[in-house]
Amino acid sequence: MINGPKDVHMGQDEFDPLVARVPMDERGRLVLPLAMRERLGLAGGGQLILRLTGEGAIALETPDIVKARLRRRWSDARRDRLPSEELIAERRAEAAREQEEVERYRMNRARPPQ
């Protein structure tokens, strides 16, 4: 069972401005330290996104942080060309090639035999 503030060990390291070692109870519950909740603007009953990183770490993020990260990721992609625009351009190019083939076929059929 998590007994409160005495179980939370706050410290700082060279990578993160705020690091906390928190116990997990037998049901997997954690208590986020007040300093972290305040920094993130979290109130009781709020929601967090839990993400398992490629390195095997757990990241807890607010929905606003996740939305901002996704917007940045997709805004970079939009600068070049949307996938739908690429698909439309490919289909138009293919249609133009098919139309050229049809016109060549018609021209060859219309020629009298030599």
E strands, the chain, where?
9-11, 19-21, 49-52, 58-61
Q: How many domains does the chain have?
A: 2
Are 72 and 103 contained in the same domain?
yes
Q: Which domain holds residue 91?
A: 66-110
pTM: 0.47
Are 41 and 74 contained in the same domain?
no
Could you read off the pLDDT tens digit of each residue along the chain, which spans 114 residues?
Answer: 444 545 455 555 555 567 788 889 999 998 888 888 887 788 777 788 998 988 888 888 888 889 998 888 777 665 667 778 888 989 999 999 999 998 888 888 877 666
**Locus of tokens 């606003």:** 64
Does residue 26 belong to any structural domain of this protein? yes
Residue of 62, 65, 67 whose CA lies nearest to 49: 62
